[in-house]
Amino acid sequence: MQIDIKQPILDKNDGLARELRERFARNHVFVLDLLASPGSGKTSTILATIDALRDEFNIAVIEGDIASSVDAEKIKAQGIPAVQINTGGACHLESAMLKRAVDVLDLERLDLIIVENVGNLVCPTDFDLGENAKVMILSVPEGDDKPLKYPGVFQVAEAVVLNKVDTMPVFNFDREAFEASVKQLNPTAPLFPIAATKGDGVDAWAEWLAARIREIQ
């Protein structure tokens, strides 16, 4: 006899995610779930995105990490509400974790919540958080072969951000091969090359996100 323990966990998670999605919709809040591996530049991308959008939208950030509150403190230093979730070892966020974080935010005053998921290219793909969109960030130093090794995260992403493009001359990164692999896995996902810490390419990415936010307001 085979016992499937994964499906009951996902069913419970998805039920709460549906409730969260309805709650976000009632308040016209767009929720972005950012997926990436450690060191890809998730936090620097979030900070660059905040700089590009804060004049138009009210933003909050939910930080998911196994431990520490380092990233949340960086966000708060910019005057943006940030809630830290420490998973204590879990490799992804779940909707129950997100609900506890959302409960301390004033949704009526927000337009955008950016969720920085735990750094992992596998586990977070299966867990619905009630988000409006999942977006995947890959950095150039990680290599152009990641779509071949981790196809699932690229398939669920509504957009792909290629970060640290300013380092491309230093690394053996085949951009054409990378873009072809992404296109094969996810033909409709736009690809945004950026250098988050320098601001290069951020405007195009931010405008895509802004258009999505305006759709629900």
pLDDT (0 to 100) of residue 5: 45
| 67's tokens | 């431990």
| Number of Cβ within a 10 Å radius of residue 136 | 30
For the chain, helix, strand, coil in percent to 5 are: 45, 20, 35
DSSP 122-168: SGGGG---S-SEEEEEEEGGG-TTHHHH-HHHHHH-SEEEEE-GGGT
Task: Spell out, as residue ranges, where the chain has pLDDT lower than 50.
Answer: 1-5
46-77: pLDDT as tens digits = 999 999 999 999 999 999 876 667 788 999 99
pLDDT (0 to 100) of residue 4: 45
Q: 45 and 127 in contact (C-beta within 8 Å)?
A: no
| 4's tokens | 């499937």
77-104: pLDDT as tens digits = 999 999 988 877 667 899 999 999 999 9
How far apart, in whole angstroms, are the C-alpha atoms of residue 197 and residue 139? 12
| 198's tokens | 């320098």
pLDDT (0 to 100) of residue 187: 97
pLDDT (0 to 100) of residue 125: 87
Q: What are phi and psi of 100, to 5 degrees?
A: -65, -35
Q: 98 and 20 in contact (C-beta within 8 Å)?
A: yes
Query: What global pTM score does this model have?
Result: 0.92
How far apart, in whole angstroms, are the C-alpha atoms of residue 101 and residue 75? 15
